[in-house]
Amino acid sequence: MKDSKEILEIVVSEEVLLVAIKESDLERLDHLLHEDLLFTNPMGQTLTKQMDLEGYRSGEMKVSHIGSQDQQINIIGDVAVVAVTIALEGTFGKHDLDGKYRYTRVWKNISGTSSWQVIAGSCVLI
């Protein structure tokens, strides 16, 4: 049986992440994203943590609305895999991000604490 405490921690972490994305909260994003993060965006580009944060810092990434549904979470040891549909409105540079996206995020429990960080992710337009 999956540990409901860990699942709750991931649900909360996902909610905090969505707020941080919408608000371009660099401090919170810095805390939630692992130093070695790799994320593949809908344009097929693979971003590092620093590249992702720079998108928010520069204003290139702007989110006006974000919401989630159909969330699935699997806990595997100290890793959580999340599949979730995200309704997103905003822009990334010259690209509109308006639509529904299916995200896969991999969270890792850091040092056996209740501190989870995103280590990998990707998304596609659906």
Output the pTM of the full model: 0.92
Query: HSE (CB half, 13 Å, CA atoms) of 49?
Result: 16
Domains and CATH numbers, the chain: 4-125 (3.10.450.50)
Q: With bands split at pLDDT 50, 70 and 90, how would you rate the model's confidence at 95? A: confident
- What confidence tens digit (pLDDT) does each residue in 50-73 have? 999 999 999 999 999 999 999 999
Q: With bands split at pLDDT 50, 70 and 90, how would you rate the model's confidence at 1? A: very low
Q: Which of 46, 124, 56, 39 is nearest to 90 (CA)?
A: 56
3-state SS of the chain is CCCHHHHHHHHHHHHHHHHHHHHCCHHHHHHHEEEEEEEECCCCCEEEHHHHHHHHHHCCEEEEEEEEEEEEEEEECCEEEEEEEEEEEEEECCEECCEEEEEEEEEEEHHHCCCEEEEEEEEEEC
